[in-house]
């Protein structure tokens, strides 16, 4: 992953941040759930949406640590989000890389819409290749919100590996196999392996930047609103009171 600039506390400068209790955007900062309209504060001006949940800017506490692992926790009380929940992250250093588990538990007394994700940033020297098995892509509207799932266009079919330099993409891909690989021109490679709960992959490759993002996610962008519109393949989970959802992602370094 990319290094973090010295002394920066901006989450957007980090190597990776958590996505909890949802990934990516909730359109126009509002949604209907169980027949009730919920309005959220926008947190990424000038966009009219709310983005990435709370964990990426929240204060996490270290709850456990030993030689090769650390666990962090984050508590959110119902205020700008209709539910109380607890999130946790555990990181393990392995001989060949890093393993991360993220979870969210519904601490409220009623059903909660929920999702998880990780948002890593990777360096993008010229010639970087991304490989990923993907089923379809959510087509975005002019406000970066998914409008419908479509078949993969050739330019975004990464199954056989594609040089990512000039591919402009900021979309969620469904039907992800849970495996992806990055090959850098230096000969270093990274395998990404995710649990089945992460059935979606957000690929963000901004032009004129030296990084790109490959983000395992449990659900499609704006999934809570897609669900309300009748889409059934969003990956959004509904948690009962006290229910927990969790998933692991493994980042394995490969020296070719």
Q: Give the C-alpha distances (Å, rounded to integers) separating 26 from 44, 113, 150.
A: 11, 12, 20
pLDDT value for 75: 96
**Spatial distance between the Cα atoms of 52 and 202, rounded to a whole number of angstroms:** 12
Classify 167 as helix, strand or coil: coil
Sequence-ordered alpha helix ranges (H) in the chain: 223-228
Per DSSP bridges, beta strands 162-163 and 16-19 are unpaired
pLDDT value for 81: 92
Counting as low any pLDDT under 50, the low residues of the chain are: none
pLDDT value for 256: 67
Q: Which tokens is 253 given?
A: 């370094």
Q: Which tokens is 156 given?
A: 């975004």
Per DSSP bridges, beta strands 30-33 and 188-194 are unpaired
The per-residue pLDDT for range 163-178, each reduced to its tens digit, is 999 899 999 999 999 9
pLDDT value for 78: 85
Q: Which CATH number fits domain 11-255: 2.70.98.10, 2.40.50.100, 1.10.10.10, 3.20.20.70?
A: 2.70.98.10
DSSP assignment string, 201-239: EEEEE-TT-SEEEEEEESS-TTHHHHHHTT-S-S--EEE
Domain boundaries, the chain: 11-255
pLDDT value for 79: 81
Q: Report CA Rg, the chain.
A: 18
The per-residue pLDDT for range 93-106, each reduced to its tens digit, is 999 999 999 999 99
Phi, psi of 155 (to 5 degrees): -65, -20
């Amino acid at each position: 992953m990319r290094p973090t600039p010295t002394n920066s506390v901006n989450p957007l400068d980090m190597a990776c941040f958590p996505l909890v209790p949802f990934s990516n955007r909730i359109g126009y900062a509002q949604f209907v759930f169980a027949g009730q309209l919920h309005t959220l504060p926008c947190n990424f001006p000038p966009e009219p949406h709310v983005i990435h949940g709370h964990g990426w800017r929240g204060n996490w506490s270290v709850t456990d640590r030993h030689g090769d692992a650390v666990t962090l926790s984050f508590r959110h009380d119902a205020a700008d989000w209709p539910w109380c929940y607890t999130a946790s992250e555990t990181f393990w250093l392995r001989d060949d890389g890093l393993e991360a588990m993220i979870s969210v538990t519904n601490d409220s007394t009623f059903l909660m819409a929920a999702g998880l994700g990780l948002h890593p940033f990777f360096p993008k020297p010229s010639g970087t290749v991304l490989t990923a098995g993907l089923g379809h892509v959510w087509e975005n509207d002019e406000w970066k919100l998914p409008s419908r799932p479509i078949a993969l266009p050739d330019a975004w079919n990464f199954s056989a590996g594609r040089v990512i330099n000039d591919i402009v993409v900021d979309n969620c891909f469904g039907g992800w196999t849970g495996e992806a690989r990055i090959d850098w021109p230096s000969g270093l490679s990274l395998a990404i392996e995710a649990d089945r709960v992460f059935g979606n992959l957000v690929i963000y490759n901004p032009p004129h930047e030296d990084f790109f993002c490959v983000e395992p996610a449990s659900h499609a962008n704006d999934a809570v609103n897609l669900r309300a519109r009748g889409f059934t393949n969003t990956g959004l989970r509904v948690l009962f009171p006290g229910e927990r959802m969790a998933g692991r992602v493994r980042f394995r370094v490969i020296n070719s």
